[in-house]
Amino acid sequence: MKFDRVTGKCVDISFEGKGVVKLSYGTVFVDGLFPGEEAEIEIEYKRAGSYFGKVHRLITKSKDRIQPKCGVCTACGGCQLQQLSYPAQLEYKTKKVKDAFRRNKIENIEVFPCISAEKPYEYRNKIQVPIGYDPHGHIVSGFYRRGTHKIIPIEKCWIEDYRAGKIILELKKLMKEFHYAPYNEDTRSGLVRHCLIRTSAHYDEIMVTLVTNKDEFRGKNNFVKEWIKRCPNIKSLIQNINTRDTNVILGEKERTLYGPSFIKDSILGVDFLISSKSFFQVNPEQVEKLYRKALDFADLDKSENIFDAYCGIGTISLCAAKYVKKVTGVEIVKEAIIDAKKNAKINSIENAEFLLGDAGEVFEKLVNGGEKYSTVFVDPPRKGLDQKFIDTLLRLEPKKVVYVSCDPETLARDIKLLSEKYLINAVQPVDMFPMTFHVETVVNLILRK
């Protein structure tokens, strides 16, 4: 199907950071177009009744448009807002949260202005890059062109920790020296699929996970030795084996090639050991602001037993532990619970327990068994809370609920249900993901008398 080129004016930015252009026959969502701007737009495809396109020629520019640091930010699609000034990004994120609440018919609440980052670039502590060949046969790393599996070569990504670049550079050089080919999706041949890097903000420690298409490969020991020699800040090197024909980056099997199977970082003075598959918040500066806000909202005291649902490696639980009598954390990933227990130990925290299982099921069982919690923290994945969790929460009636969310839509949906018994005391967006359309929000709920 052939689409037209159209001229239109952007009236808003969508949930996914695209410019919204209303035309007589429908809405067009346009990458890299901002409110007030007029452009000639090339419509690329239609999905679910809406059109999607890109700017062919900008006719009028927004005062908030800036020159992006990254030359491929529009093609890569990772930084949807890099061409928008930082103050305008923050305004967009505050509005995005307000809009989600309004859409869910939650009226008369104040959404505070989004908390900004002092370091809106080079903040990400976790990156994953595919490795491949360019058309000239050179080994390249980068990001997939939006919606494709074609690698856009990038030497420097402006949102990732600067230390990651050197490790990738040395990997590419070593692959050439050791004659290791990148994985080819079509022929399913080659060795190296992806390289994942996790950097610690508070310690000079880096974890590298090399995803390979084979279990054993020649010269492995020398390759590892040489990589560590050239990048001595690699504290832990993991091989992940993924031989499947899949888009999923990680395989099941892993082995540690060098150092321990974790690195250490810290949040609000509490140390955390992080292993390769555990969730850890990606922005070290902003996570401290987020957690401080969550703790302020909770206004904890030493007499309290509290619950931390979706606790990951115990980050919120262990930051809260010193203010309460006891904290119980629940998480579905086994490795994360093992990490959480280790983390309690290395910080000599004795009033935290961690349970493995589905948050809704474990919470229901505990509450049915007579356990009481005066404050409940929830930090679910994008899909939000399940009905069982919400029903149990409404039955338990803890005095305070602190909801941390990375998705304003599911957040607002859940808050609407909880507002049956809870007053929405504060809604605070936090910019955990500068340059992207994502926003984190923390909400303070107080039980109505």
Ligand X SMILES: C[S@@+](CC[C@H](N)C(=O)[O-])C[C@H]1O[C@@H](n2cnc3c(N)ncnc32)[C@H](O)[C@@H]1O
Token pair for residue 58? Answer: 């900008």
Binding mask 150-189 for ligand X (x = CB under 6 A): ----------------------------------------
Nearest distance, CB of residue 74 and ligand X, angstroms:
28
Count CB neighbours of 227 within 10 A: 21
DSSP string, 6-38: EEEEEEEE-TTSPEEEEETTEEEEEET--TT-E
CA atoms within 13 A on the CB side of 251: 21
Cβ contact 359:330 at 8 Å: yes
Q: What are the Cα distances from residue 333, in Å, to 255, 277, 291, 314, 440?
A: 18, 9, 21, 12, 22
With CB under 6 A as the contact rule, the residue among 82, 125, 209, 315 that binds ligand X is 315
Binding mask 318-347 for ligand X (x = CB under 6 A): ------------xxxx--x-----------
Nearest to ligand X of 75, 320 (CB atom): 320
Interacting residues with ligand X between 352 and 371 (CB under 6 A): 358-359
> Looking at 31-39, 161-169, 183-191, 375-383, which segment touches ligand X (CB under 6 A)?
375-383
Nearest distance, CB of residue 67 and ligand X, angstroms:
33
Q: What is the CA radius of gyration of the chain?
A: 23
390 binds ligand X (CB under 6 A): no
Q: Closest Cα to residue 180, out of 143, 136, 132?
A: 132
Token pair for residue 270? Answer: 């509490």
With CB under 6 A as the contact rule, the residue among 29, 310, 354, 437 that binds ligand X is 310
Per the annotation, the verdict on 406 as an active-site residue is: yes
Nearest to ligand X of 211, 432 (CB atom): 432
With CB under 6 A as the contact rule, the residue among 21, 316, 319, 352 that binds ligand X is 316
Q: Which residue shows structure tokens 């010193």? A: 322
Question: CA–CA separation, 213 vs 281, rounded Å?
Answer: 28
Nearest to ligand X of 17, 329 (CB atom): 329
Q: Give the bridge partners for 199, in sequence order.
A: 206
Cβ contact 364:395 at 8 Å: no
Interacting residues with ligand X between 247 and 306 (CB under 6 A): 279-281
Q: Is residue 429 helix, strand or coil?
A: strand
Question: CA–CA separation, 312 vs 308, rounded Å?
Answer: 10
Nearest to ligand X of 158, 279 (CB atom): 279
Q: Shortest Cβ contact with ligand X: which residue?
A: 312
> Residues touching ligand X: how many (CB under 6 A)?
19
Q: What is the set of active-site residues?
A: 406
The residue ranges that bind ligand X (CB under 6 A) are 279-281, 310-312, 315-316, 330-333, 336, 358-359, 379-381, 406
